[in-house]
Structure 1
Amino acid sequence: MVITYAGGYCFKVSSGDTMLAINPPSQTSEMKVSKFGADVVFISANHKDWDGEETASHGGKEPFVLRGPGAYEIGDVAVEGYPTEGAVGGEIENFKNTIYSVQFDGMHIVLLGALSNAKLPQSARANLDDVDIIFVPIGADTLDAKGSHDLVTTLEPRLVIPYQVGKGDDIKEFLKTAGSTAVKPVEKLTLRAKDLQGNEGEIALLK
Protein backbone atom coordinates (compact mmCIF):
# COMPACT_ATOMS: atom_id res chain seq x y z
CA MET A 1 0.00 0.00 0.00
CA VAL A 2 1.20 3.48 -0.88
CA ILE A 3 -0.17 6.63 0.79
CA THR A 4 0.48 10.12 -0.55
CA TYR A 5 -0.78 13.62 0.19
CA ALA A 6 -2.50 15.31 -2.75
CA GLY A 7 -3.22 18.73 -1.21
CA GLY A 8 -6.00 20.33 0.81
CA TYR A 9 -7.47 17.57 2.98
CA CYS A 10 -7.00 14.98 0.24
CA PHE A 11 -4.93 11.81 0.40
CA LYS A 12 -4.46 8.98 -2.08
CA VAL A 13 -4.24 5.37 -0.92
CA SER A 14 -3.31 2.80 -3.54
CA SER A 15 -2.55 -0.88 -3.78
CA GLY A 16 -2.09 -2.72 -7.05
CA ASP A 17 -4.52 -1.28 -9.60
CA THR A 18 -6.89 0.18 -7.00
CA MET A 19 -6.73 3.79 -5.83
CA LEU A 20 -8.78 5.37 -3.06
CA ALA A 21 -9.23 9.15 -2.91
CA ILE A 22 -9.98 10.73 0.46
CA ASN A 23 -11.87 14.06 0.48
CA PRO A 24 -10.62 15.64 -2.75
CA PRO A 25 -11.55 19.33 -3.00
CA SER A 26 -13.94 20.62 -5.62
CA GLN A 27 -12.58 22.50 -8.61
CA THR A 28 -14.35 25.57 -7.14
CA SER A 29 -12.38 25.33 -3.89
CA GLU A 30 -9.46 27.62 -3.18
CA MET A 31 -7.55 24.43 -2.38
CA LYS A 32 -6.04 23.33 -5.65
CA VAL A 33 -5.31 19.69 -6.36
CA SER A 34 -4.33 18.37 -9.77
CA LYS A 35 -6.92 16.06 -11.30
CA PHE A 36 -6.27 12.34 -11.02
CA GLY A 37 -8.14 9.08 -11.52
CA ALA A 38 -9.43 7.08 -8.53
CA ASP A 39 -11.53 3.94 -8.20
CA VAL A 40 -13.25 4.88 -4.94
CA VAL A 41 -13.82 8.39 -3.58
CA PHE A 42 -14.63 9.07 0.08
CA ILE A 43 -16.55 12.29 0.79
CA SER A 44 -16.90 13.12 4.49
CA ALA A 45 -18.64 16.50 4.23
CA ASN A 46 -20.79 18.33 1.70
CA HIS A 47 -18.50 21.33 1.26
CA LYS A 48 -16.36 22.47 -1.65
CA ASP A 49 -13.13 21.90 0.29
CA TRP A 50 -14.05 18.26 0.98
CA ASP A 51 -16.38 17.26 -1.86
CA GLY A 52 -14.68 17.15 -5.25
CA GLU A 53 -15.67 14.00 -7.04
CA GLU A 54 -14.69 15.62 -10.34
CA THR A 55 -11.12 16.11 -9.11
CA ALA A 56 -10.70 12.34 -8.80
CA SER A 57 -12.50 11.51 -12.07
CA HIS A 58 -9.78 11.76 -14.68
CA GLY A 59 -8.22 9.66 -17.40
CA GLY A 60 -11.41 7.74 -18.11
CA LYS A 61 -11.95 6.80 -14.47
CA GLU A 62 -15.53 6.81 -13.14
CA PRO A 63 -15.07 6.24 -9.41
CA PHE A 64 -17.56 4.80 -6.96
CA VAL A 65 -18.36 7.77 -4.71
CA LEU A 66 -19.29 7.41 -1.03
CA ARG A 67 -21.10 10.41 0.43
CA GLY A 68 -22.51 9.27 3.75
CA PRO A 69 -23.27 6.55 6.28
CA GLY A 70 -23.91 2.97 5.26
CA ALA A 71 -22.25 -0.32 4.39
CA TYR A 72 -20.49 -0.68 1.06
CA GLU A 73 -18.45 -3.28 -0.81
CA ILE A 74 -16.56 -2.13 -3.89
CA GLY A 75 -14.40 -4.91 -5.25
CA ASP A 76 -11.86 -5.70 -2.55
CA VAL A 77 -12.76 -2.59 -0.52
CA ALA A 78 -15.22 -3.01 2.39
CA VAL A 79 -16.56 0.13 4.06
CA GLU A 80 -18.76 1.16 6.98
CA GLY A 81 -19.74 4.83 7.23
CA TYR A 82 -20.99 6.46 10.44
CA PRO A 83 -22.62 9.89 10.99
CA THR A 84 -20.88 12.21 13.45
CA GLU A 85 -20.68 15.85 14.40
CA GLY A 86 -18.57 17.80 11.95
CA ALA A 87 -17.15 21.25 11.39
CA VAL A 88 -17.26 22.54 7.84
CA GLY A 89 -16.60 26.04 6.56
CA GLY A 90 -16.48 27.50 10.05
CA GLU A 91 -19.87 26.10 11.05
CA ILE A 92 -20.58 23.24 13.44
CA GLU A 93 -23.15 20.98 11.84
CA ASN A 94 -24.55 17.99 13.70
CA PHE A 95 -24.45 14.74 11.73
CA LYS A 96 -23.06 16.38 8.61
CA ASN A 97 -19.76 14.51 8.77
CA THR A 98 -19.17 10.87 7.96
CA ILE A 99 -16.30 8.83 9.31
CA TYR A 100 -15.38 5.75 7.32
CA SER A 101 -14.04 2.41 8.51
CA VAL A 102 -12.27 0.83 5.55
CA GLN A 103 -10.88 -2.67 5.07
CA PHE A 104 -8.37 -2.58 2.22
CA ASP A 105 -5.21 -4.49 1.35
CA GLY A 106 -5.35 -6.44 4.60
CA MET A 107 -5.48 -3.31 6.76
CA HIS A 108 -8.14 -1.46 8.74
CA ILE A 109 -8.12 2.24 7.86
CA VAL A 110 -10.23 4.89 9.61
CA LEU A 111 -11.00 8.24 7.97
CA LEU A 112 -12.27 10.87 10.44
CA GLY A 113 -13.04 13.54 7.85
CA ALA A 114 -14.13 16.85 9.43
CA LEU A 115 -14.86 15.36 12.85
CA SER A 116 -15.42 18.05 15.50
CA ASN A 117 -16.16 16.03 18.63
CA ALA A 118 -13.64 13.57 20.08
CA LYS A 119 -16.48 11.66 21.73
CA LEU A 120 -17.65 9.31 19.00
CA PRO A 121 -21.21 7.98 18.75
CA GLN A 122 -21.49 4.49 20.20
CA SER A 123 -22.51 3.12 16.80
CA ALA A 124 -19.11 4.12 15.46
CA ARG A 125 -16.96 3.49 18.50
CA ALA A 126 -18.16 -0.10 18.83
CA ASN A 127 -16.76 -0.91 15.39
CA LEU A 128 -13.44 0.90 15.48
CA ASP A 129 -11.24 -1.72 17.09
CA ASP A 130 -7.93 -3.10 15.84
CA VAL A 131 -7.22 -0.01 13.73
CA ASP A 132 -4.09 -0.07 11.59
CA ILE A 133 -4.14 3.47 10.16
CA ILE A 134 -6.17 6.52 11.17
CA PHE A 135 -6.40 9.88 9.40
CA VAL A 136 -7.04 12.63 11.98
CA PRO A 137 -8.12 16.27 11.40
CA ILE A 138 -6.55 18.92 13.62
CA GLY A 139 -7.36 22.63 13.73
CA ALA A 140 -10.05 25.21 12.93
CA ASP A 141 -13.42 23.87 14.17
CA THR A 142 -12.39 20.22 13.97
CA LEU A 143 -10.41 18.54 16.76
CA ASP A 144 -7.82 20.48 18.72
CA ALA A 145 -4.45 18.99 19.62
CA LYS A 146 -5.62 17.58 22.94
CA GLY A 147 -8.90 16.23 21.57
CA SER A 148 -7.21 14.49 18.67
CA HIS A 149 -4.56 13.02 20.93
CA ASP A 150 -7.18 11.80 23.42
CA LEU A 151 -9.15 10.16 20.62
CA VAL A 152 -6.24 8.32 19.04
CA THR A 153 -5.10 7.20 22.49
CA THR A 154 -8.55 5.69 23.02
CA LEU A 155 -8.68 3.98 19.62
CA GLU A 156 -5.08 2.72 19.84
CA PRO A 157 -4.26 2.72 16.11
CA ARG A 158 -0.91 1.42 14.94
CA LEU A 159 -0.27 4.44 12.72
CA VAL A 160 -1.64 8.00 12.98
CA ILE A 161 -1.67 10.40 10.02
CA PRO A 162 -2.73 13.90 11.18
CA TYR A 163 -3.66 16.69 8.78
CA GLN A 164 -4.05 20.42 9.35
CA VAL A 165 -7.52 21.93 8.88
CA GLY A 166 -7.65 25.67 8.31
CA LYS A 167 -4.75 27.99 8.87
CA GLY A 168 -2.40 27.57 11.78
CA ASP A 169 0.15 25.12 13.06
CA ASP A 170 -1.98 22.88 15.26
CA ILE A 171 -0.11 19.77 14.18
CA LYS A 172 2.99 21.07 15.93
CA GLU A 173 1.00 21.26 19.17
CA PHE A 174 -0.37 17.75 18.52
CA LEU A 175 3.16 16.39 18.10
CA LYS A 176 4.19 18.11 21.31
CA THR A 177 1.22 16.62 23.16
CA ALA A 178 2.08 13.19 21.79
CA GLY A 179 5.76 13.53 22.65
CA SER A 180 6.69 13.14 18.99
CA THR A 181 8.25 16.47 18.05
CA ALA A 182 11.05 14.75 16.12
CA VAL A 183 8.67 13.44 13.42
CA LYS A 184 9.49 14.89 9.98
CA PRO A 185 7.20 15.00 6.92
CA VAL A 186 7.78 12.51 4.11
CA GLU A 187 6.49 12.47 0.53
CA LYS A 188 4.94 9.01 0.69
CA LEU A 189 4.42 5.99 2.89
CA THR A 190 4.87 2.47 1.59
CA LEU A 191 3.31 -0.04 3.97
CA ARG A 192 2.47 -3.69 4.39
CA ALA A 193 0.19 -5.03 7.09
CA LYS A 194 3.02 -6.94 8.72
CA ASP A 195 5.10 -3.74 8.91
CA LEU A 196 2.58 -2.26 11.35
CA GLN A 197 2.41 -5.21 13.71
CA GLY A 198 3.70 -4.17 17.11
CA ASN A 199 3.28 -0.45 16.42
CA GLU A 200 1.43 1.60 19.02
CA GLY A 201 0.34 5.06 17.91
CA GLU A 202 3.28 5.81 15.64
CA ILE A 203 2.81 9.18 13.90
CA ALA A 204 3.59 9.91 10.26
CA LEU A 205 3.39 13.27 8.48
CA LEU A 206 2.91 13.57 4.74
CA LYS A 207 3.85 16.59 2.63
Structure 2
Amino acid sequence: MNGIKKAIRGTLALILVLAVLAPSLALAATGDVTSIEITNSSPQQMSVSQTTTLQVMAVVEGFDNKQDVTGGVTWSTSNDAVVTITKGKVKAVAAGEATVYAQVNGAKAQLLVKVQDKIKSIKASPSSYNFVKGSESTLPKVSIVRANGKEEDVTSEIVWTVSSASAVLESGKIKGITPGRVLLQGKYGSETVKVPVAITDEITKVEVTPAV
Protein backbone atom coordinates (compact mmCIF):
# COMPACT_ATOMS: atom_id res chain seq x y z
CA MET A 1 0.00 0.00 0.00
CA ASN A 2 2.84 2.38 0.90
CA GLY A 3 4.47 1.57 -2.43
CA ILE A 4 1.32 2.56 -4.31
CA LYS A 5 1.10 5.86 -2.41
CA LYS A 6 4.74 6.64 -3.23
CA ALA A 7 4.14 5.86 -6.90
CA ILE A 8 1.11 8.16 -6.97
CA ARG A 9 3.05 10.95 -5.27
CA GLY A 10 5.88 10.53 -7.76
CA THR A 11 3.47 10.70 -10.68
CA LEU A 12 1.79 13.83 -9.30
CA ALA A 13 5.17 15.47 -8.77
CA LEU A 14 6.15 14.69 -12.37
CA ILE A 15 2.88 16.14 -13.67
CA LEU A 16 3.45 19.30 -11.62
CA VAL A 17 6.99 19.75 -12.96
CA LEU A 18 5.80 19.26 -16.54
CA ALA A 19 3.01 21.79 -16.00
CA VAL A 20 5.50 24.38 -14.76
CA LEU A 21 7.90 23.75 -17.63
CA ALA A 22 5.23 23.56 -20.33
CA PRO A 23 5.43 27.25 -21.40
CA SER A 24 9.22 27.11 -21.63
CA LEU A 25 9.16 23.84 -23.55
CA ALA A 26 6.56 25.22 -25.93
CA LEU A 27 8.70 28.30 -26.58
CA ALA A 28 11.79 26.19 -27.11
CA ALA A 29 9.91 24.09 -29.63
CA THR A 30 9.05 27.10 -31.79
CA GLY A 31 11.08 28.04 -34.87
CA ASP A 32 13.84 30.55 -35.34
CA VAL A 33 13.61 34.33 -35.50
CA THR A 34 13.16 35.02 -39.22
CA SER A 35 13.26 38.83 -39.15
CA ILE A 36 13.31 41.76 -36.74
CA GLU A 37 12.46 45.44 -36.89
CA ILE A 38 13.10 48.48 -34.72
CA THR A 39 9.64 49.92 -34.23
CA ASN A 40 10.69 53.55 -33.71
CA SER A 41 10.37 55.86 -36.71
CA SER A 42 13.35 56.13 -39.04
CA PRO A 43 15.34 58.27 -39.08
CA GLN A 44 15.14 58.95 -35.36
CA GLN A 45 15.47 62.68 -34.68
CA MET A 46 17.26 63.60 -31.44
CA SER A 47 18.94 66.54 -29.75
CA VAL A 48 22.24 66.47 -27.84
CA SER A 49 21.80 65.02 -24.31
CA GLN A 50 18.40 63.54 -25.20
CA THR A 51 17.74 59.85 -24.57
CA THR A 52 15.20 57.44 -26.03
CA THR A 53 14.45 53.74 -25.68
CA LEU A 54 14.16 51.49 -28.71
CA GLN A 55 11.94 48.43 -29.07
CA VAL A 56 12.54 45.45 -31.33
CA MET A 57 9.77 43.20 -32.62
CA ALA A 58 10.45 39.87 -34.33
CA VAL A 59 8.74 37.44 -36.65
CA VAL A 60 9.19 34.04 -35.00
CA GLU A 61 8.25 30.68 -36.46
CA GLY A 62 5.32 29.19 -34.59
CA PHE A 63 3.81 32.56 -33.59
CA ASP A 64 1.06 34.37 -35.49
CA ASN A 65 1.93 37.78 -34.04
CA LYS A 66 5.25 39.59 -33.81
CA GLN A 67 7.10 39.05 -30.54
CA ASP A 68 8.90 41.63 -28.41
CA VAL A 69 12.53 40.46 -28.30
CA THR A 70 14.08 43.72 -27.05
CA GLY A 71 15.58 41.99 -24.02
CA GLY A 72 17.60 39.59 -26.17
CA VAL A 73 19.04 42.09 -28.63
CA THR A 74 22.76 42.65 -29.21
CA TRP A 75 23.19 46.38 -29.87
CA SER A 76 25.92 48.37 -31.61
CA THR A 77 26.41 51.79 -33.18
CA SER A 78 28.38 53.01 -36.17
CA ASN A 79 29.64 56.05 -34.29
CA ASP A 80 29.64 56.11 -30.49
CA ALA A 81 30.92 59.70 -30.57
CA VAL A 82 27.45 60.68 -31.85
CA VAL A 83 25.21 58.18 -30.04
CA THR A 84 25.74 55.45 -27.47
CA ILE A 85 23.37 52.57 -26.83
CA THR A 86 23.00 50.28 -23.83
CA LYS A 87 20.19 47.73 -23.48
CA GLY A 88 18.14 49.56 -26.08
CA LYS A 89 18.56 53.00 -24.51
CA VAL A 90 20.05 55.50 -26.97
CA LYS A 91 21.80 58.65 -25.77
CA ALA A 92 22.66 61.51 -28.12
CA VAL A 93 26.23 62.64 -27.42
CA ALA A 94 27.07 65.11 -30.21
CA ALA A 95 25.59 66.54 -33.39
CA GLY A 96 25.90 64.23 -36.40
CA GLU A 97 24.54 60.96 -37.76
CA ALA A 98 24.99 57.37 -36.64
CA THR A 99 23.38 54.05 -37.45
CA VAL A 100 22.19 51.85 -34.61
CA TYR A 101 22.28 48.08 -35.26
CA ALA A 102 20.20 45.37 -33.59
CA GLN A 103 20.84 41.63 -33.90
CA VAL A 104 18.92 38.61 -32.61
CA ASN A 105 19.94 35.06 -33.58
CA GLY A 106 21.36 36.16 -36.93
CA ALA A 107 18.42 38.46 -37.80
CA LYS A 108 19.44 42.11 -38.14
CA ALA A 109 17.83 45.55 -38.24
CA GLN A 110 19.16 49.09 -38.27
CA LEU A 111 18.02 52.63 -37.54
CA LEU A 112 19.53 55.90 -38.71
CA VAL A 113 19.79 58.44 -35.88
CA LYS A 114 20.21 62.13 -36.64
CA VAL A 115 21.43 64.25 -33.73
CA GLN A 116 21.19 68.03 -33.71
CA ASP A 117 22.44 70.65 -31.26
CA LYS A 118 20.53 71.01 -28.02
CA ILE A 119 17.41 73.18 -28.06
CA LYS A 120 17.99 76.47 -26.22
CA SER A 121 14.45 77.84 -26.42
CA ILE A 122 11.03 77.15 -27.94
CA LYS A 123 8.29 79.69 -28.59
CA ALA A 124 4.79 79.86 -30.06
CA SER A 125 3.15 82.62 -32.09
CA PRO A 126 0.65 83.78 -30.98
CA SER A 127 1.69 83.19 -27.38
CA SER A 128 -1.92 83.31 -26.09
CA TYR A 129 -5.55 83.25 -27.31
CA ASN A 130 -8.72 85.02 -26.29
CA PHE A 131 -11.95 84.24 -28.15
CA VAL A 132 -15.65 83.55 -27.64
CA LYS A 133 -17.15 80.08 -27.39
CA GLY A 134 -18.01 78.51 -30.73
CA SER A 135 -15.25 80.34 -32.56
CA GLU A 136 -11.95 78.83 -33.64
CA SER A 137 -8.40 79.84 -34.45
CA THR A 138 -5.50 78.28 -36.32
CA LEU A 139 -2.97 76.58 -34.06
CA PRO A 140 0.19 78.61 -33.33
CA LYS A 141 3.35 78.55 -35.35
CA VAL A 142 6.25 77.19 -33.32
CA SER A 143 9.96 77.83 -33.68
CA ILE A 144 13.01 76.66 -31.77
CA VAL A 145 16.46 78.12 -31.28
CA ARG A 146 19.35 75.68 -30.89
CA ALA A 147 22.51 76.14 -28.86
CA ASN A 148 24.40 77.11 -32.02
CA GLY A 149 21.98 80.02 -32.61
CA LYS A 150 20.12 78.38 -35.49
CA GLU A 151 16.37 79.03 -35.55
CA GLU A 152 14.00 76.43 -37.04
CA ASP A 153 10.29 76.36 -37.82
CA VAL A 154 8.96 73.11 -36.31
CA THR A 155 5.23 73.85 -36.57
CA SER A 156 4.47 70.77 -38.64
CA GLU A 157 6.16 68.49 -36.09
CA ILE A 158 4.34 69.69 -32.97
CA VAL A 159 1.95 67.36 -31.13
CA TRP A 160 -0.81 69.46 -29.56
CA THR A 161 -3.04 68.72 -26.55
CA VAL A 162 -5.51 70.76 -24.48
CA SER A 163 -5.88 70.66 -20.70
CA SER A 164 -9.69 70.44 -20.60
CA ALA A 165 -12.82 69.78 -22.65
CA SER A 166 -13.56 73.52 -22.82
CA ALA A 167 -11.70 73.46 -26.13
CA VAL A 168 -11.09 70.88 -28.84
CA LEU A 169 -8.52 70.45 -31.58
CA GLU A 170 -9.85 69.95 -35.10
CA SER A 171 -7.97 69.94 -38.42
CA GLY A 172 -5.14 72.20 -37.31
CA LYS A 173 -7.40 74.55 -35.33
CA ILE A 174 -8.46 75.09 -31.73
CA LYS A 175 -12.17 75.64 -31.08
CA GLY A 176 -13.79 77.01 -27.93
CA ILE A 177 -16.64 74.86 -26.60
CA THR A 178 -17.49 76.34 -23.19
CA PRO A 179 -16.30 79.44 -21.32
CA GLY A 180 -13.21 78.93 -19.26
CA ARG A 181 -9.43 78.90 -19.31
CA VAL A 182 -7.53 76.19 -21.17
CA LEU A 183 -3.86 75.44 -21.51
CA LEU A 184 -2.82 74.52 -25.03
CA GLN A 185 0.40 72.50 -24.97
CA GLY A 186 2.66 71.68 -27.90
CA LYS A 187 5.30 68.96 -27.61
CA TYR A 188 8.42 68.75 -29.77
CA GLY A 189 10.66 65.89 -28.68
CA SER A 190 11.40 66.53 -25.02
CA GLU A 191 10.45 70.22 -25.25
CA THR A 192 7.02 71.65 -24.48
CA VAL A 193 5.55 75.07 -25.31
CA LYS A 194 2.49 76.29 -23.38
CA VAL A 195 -0.14 78.68 -24.73
CA PRO A 196 -2.90 79.97 -22.41
CA VAL A 197 -6.39 80.20 -23.94
CA ALA A 198 -9.28 82.25 -22.52
CA ILE A 199 -12.77 81.38 -23.81
CA THR A 200 -15.63 83.77 -23.04
CA ASP A 201 -19.40 83.81 -23.56
CA GLU A 202 -20.62 85.17 -26.85
CA ILE A 203 -21.64 88.84 -26.67
CA THR A 204 -25.21 89.08 -28.03
CA LYS A 205 -26.20 92.65 -27.04
CA VAL A 206 -24.36 95.81 -26.16
CA GLU A 207 -26.14 98.67 -24.36
CA VAL A 208 -24.71 102.15 -23.93
CA THR A 209 -26.13 104.16 -21.06
CA PRO A 210 -25.94 107.90 -21.66
CA ALA A 211 -24.13 109.91 -19.05
CA VAL A 212 -26.38 111.73 -16.66
Question: TM class, shorter-chain normalised?
Answer: under 0.3
- The structure having more radius of gyration, on CA atoms, is 2
TM-score by length of 2: 0.23
TM-score by length of 1: 0.23
The answer to which structure has the higher strand fraction is 2
